[in-house]
Amino acid sequence: MKILVVDDERAIRNSLKEILADEGYEVDTAEDGAIAEEMIDKEHYDVIFCDIKMPGKDGEEVLEFVTGQGIDSAIVMISGHGDIDTAVECIKKGAFDFIQKPLDLNRILITVKNAGERTTLVKDNKVLKKKVYGQEMVGSSAALQHIRDIISKVAPTDARVLITGSNGTGKELVARSLHALSLRSAMPYVEVNCAAIPSELIESELFGHEKGSFTSAIKQHKGKFEQADGGTLFLDEIGDMSLAAQAKVLRVLQEKKLSRVGSDKDIKVDVRVVAATNKDLRAEIEKGNFREDLYHRLSVIVVKVPSLDERKEDIPELVDYFDRQICAESGKGTVPFSPEAIKALQDRSWPGNIRELRNVVERLLILGGNPVSAADVEEFF
Ligand SMILES: Nc1ncnc2c1ncn2[C@@H]1O[C@H](COP(=O)(O)OP(=O)(O)O)[C@@H](O)[C@H]1O
Ligand SMILES: [Mg+2]
């Protein structure tokens, strides 16, 4: 763990450094705020001890610098006799804690331990988030690059997005990226597969219900819209939603409020809706299965995810990615695919798209040779 000590008094710098180094921490020191900021720019510190009163840039300014840059270091203010109020103010502005002069050895060690744990938590959280939302979209084809461009432009807005494309093209991945790159990324991301929920349950699933509103409603239940408040709601397979549920969704989109099943009370929600479908919604509108007004509400931006057959040049990268992913899951080293095997895969057509490709790679890793050959592809496809 790396620690930075910022104080204009040499004696304090030295004694803190000594105490912390004795405990096995790696410690740097800075004698004023400007030097500290330069160091923080170059190095990542888990914990920063920072004096409040310093000539030039003071501790509060260093704190503002760190939080302003989004750096996840835990900052512990060092306060003298006269600046307790400022120390409290600093806590409000995002400092982790403060310690008072004269320095108390035990207090310092406890604080640094707590602060270090807090930084680790923040980091773990970021890694976890990346695992859940930031799953990579692999491929450098122009088609995929185009999708990435649209995502990066659209994500930070609150515009509703309709994602279209066949099964297995990566629509869910697009929806997650839209959330991960949005200003709502710290708020909930909630997925609903509209095709998987029986039509008589979808209203309660989306809008919640009050206790006793129907036979099996034994307690109050918050719906997905409420769960996603402040964040993003992904309505997957929206083409399979019943007309009754469509009418209710339309109301939430228009009025930004809903009522639970069995209640008249309006509940305000702030949710960005992203929807996906593999159906041709225009054709569904013609057939009377989908509301045209809802379609227009949902499709402010339409992202059409290309099929794998339209971007076969991504196959080598995808095979390599799944090879690593699948082998890592089973704790094994990767197995190479011969160039001929890759070519054989590119010559195929892929109605199941990326999902199908992943399955085929998995099968070849189990059944094929090392390296996987074109003959393996012929035999086990
Ligand atoms: N560009 C991509 N790079 C890596 N994996 C992908 C990519 N696109 C899709 N996948 C993977 O393929 C599978 C199917 O994607 P998914 O988003 O569920 O498709 P859809 O929702 O369109 O049916 C998932 O396991 C997903 O992680
Ligand atoms: Mg899907």
* DSSP calls for 46-95: SEEEEES--SSS-HHHHHHHHHHTT---EEEEEE-GGGHHHHHHHHHTT-
Distance, in Å, from the CA atom of 349 to the CA atom of 364, rounded to the nearest integer, reads: 17
Domain 2-132 matching CATH 3.50.50.60: the answer reads no
Q: Which two tokens stand for residue 80?
A: 């003298």
Under a CB-based contact definition with an 8 Å cutoff, are residues 51 and 7 in contact?
yes
The pLDDT value given to residue 126 = 63
Residue in the structure block whose two tokens are 């510190």 = 45
Does residue 17 have its Cβ closer than 6 Å to ligand 1?
no
The residues, any chain, with a CB within 8 Å of residue 41's CB and separated by 6 or more, are none
Distance, in Å, from the CA atom of 135 to the CA atom of 172, rounded to the nearest integer, reads: 10
The angle at the Cα of 15, spanning 10 to 16, to the nearest 5 degrees, equals 100
Domain ranges of the chain: 2-132, 142-304, 309-380
Does residue 12 have its Cβ closer than 6 Å to ligand 1?
no
Distance 305 CA to ligand 1 centre (A): 10
The closest alpha carbon to 209, from 187, 229, 198, 224, belongs to 224
Q: Which two tokens stand for residue 303?
A: 């992202």
Burial (CB count within 10 angstroms: exposed 0-12, middle 13-18, buried 19+), residue 321: middle
For CA atoms 184, 188, 192, 197, the dihedral sign is: negative
Q: Alpha helix locations (H) across the chain?
A: 10-22, 33-42, 59-68, 84-92, 105-132, 142-154, 171-180, 199-207, 224-227, 243-255, 281-286, 292-298, 315-329, 339-347, 353-367, 374-380
Query: What topology does CATH give the domain 142-304?
Result: Rossmann fold (3.40.50)
Ligand 1 atom 26: the closest Cα is on which residue?
170
Ligand 1 atom 1: the closest Cα is on which residue?
137
What distances in angstroms separate CA 319 from CA 13, 218, 340, 349, one per listed residue?
A: 54, 48, 13, 15
The residues, any chain, with a CB within 8 Å of residue 152's CB and separated by 6 or more, are 181
Ligand 1 atom 2: the closest Cα is on which residue?
137
- Give phi and psi for 239, each to the nearest 5: -65, -15
Ligand 1 atom with the smallest distance to the CA of 144 is 1
Does residue 170 have its Cβ closer than 6 Å to ligand 1?
yes
The pLDDT value given to residue 128 = 64
The residues, any chain, with a CB within 8 Å of residue 70's CB and separated by 6 or more, are none
Burial (CB count within 10 angstroms: exposed 0-12, middle 13-18, buried 19+), residue 151: buried
- Specify the CATH class of 309-380 in words: mainly alpha
Distance 172 CA to ligand 2 centre (A): 5
Does residue 279 have its Cβ closer than 6 Å to ligand 1?
no
Distance, in Å, from the CA atom of 215 to the CA atom of 320, rounded to the nearest integer, reads: 51
Does residue 193 have its Cβ closer than 6 Å to ligand 1?
no
Identity (one letter) of the amino acid at 205? E
Does residue 317 have its Cβ closer than 6 Å to ligand 1?
no
Under a CB-based contact definition with an 8 Å cutoff, are residues 206 and 167 in contact?
no
The angle at the Cα of 361, spanning 358 to 366, to the nearest 5 degrees, equals 130
Distance, in Å, from the CA atom of 343 to the CA atom of 315, rounded to the nearest integer, reads: 9
Under a CB-based contact definition with an 8 Å cutoff, are residues 297 and 250 in contact?
yes
Under a CB-based contact definition with an 8 Å cutoff, are residues 357 and 169 in contact?
no
Ligand 1 atom 17: the closest Cα is on which residue?
170
| 3-state secondary structure at position 257 | strand
- Same CATH topology for 2-132 and 142-304: the answer is yes
For CA atoms 213, 216, 220, 225, the dihedral sign is: negative
Identity (one letter) of the amino acid at 232? T
Ranges of residues in the chain whose predicted pLDDT is under 50: 133-134
Ligand 1 atom 24: the closest Cα is on which residue?
355
